[in-house]
Structure 1
């Protein structure tokens, strides 16, 4: 049985997630992920960015340093989030409901010195 899901599936939303600024190191050096995630969370609510962040931490984050990506259940300060090239603050931040073919970009603005 294959774990792949067709893009047209009514149960899954196809999205692209990208990482930059060093965050890709937490995701097995993958800069871009093409994902099909459930359209609804365990409570039956539409999948939103908060759900995506949890999904990424549970299913995609292979590095044990999860705290470099999230803090208190949200992306940590210093990580810019763009939804379809717009700042997530303009889109409702974590409450933004994911749509087919959305592009979500996480960029770390923190650099060592």
Structure 2
């Protein structure tokens, strides 16, 4: 068994502007305990993924992507093309080769 977890992370609807305009990234997360030594959990969940994204991918204006320990209202999160609400939102345990998509529904006018 490998210590890393491979995922596809995608940004759309303008969210990609916060990530150097890159819409799709293939990422390899380290073992959870290596990144969060204090964690009592063994598996990555969306909650930890958001911290990792903030630390490693987010380039500007984190307040437009994150609010507290979750995404801002107006950011739609899809897990393998389905609404994250169907999977427990922040508590969803990530699986190898998952595709996590963040779509901003907020637009200026």
Tell me if 1:76 matches 2:72: yes
Q: Distance in 2 between matches of 1:17 and 1:74?
A: 16
Match of 2:101 among 102, 105, 111: 105
After superposition, give the CA deviation of every residue in 1:55-99 in whole Å (9 maximum; x if it has no partner): 000011111x10000011210000000000110000110100010
- RMSD over equivalenced CA pairs, Å: 1.1
TM superposition outliers: structure 1 runs of 4+ over 4 Å: none
After superposition, give the CA deviation of every residue in 1:41-68 in whole Å (9 maximum; x if it has no partner): 42152100011111000011111x1000
- After superposition, where does 1:24-39 map in structure 2 within 5 Å? 24-39=16-31
> Which stretches in structure 2 are left out of the alignment for 5+ residues?
none
> Which stretches in structure 1 are left out of the alignment for 5+ residues?
1-8
Aligned to 1:4: none
- Count of residue correspondences: 104
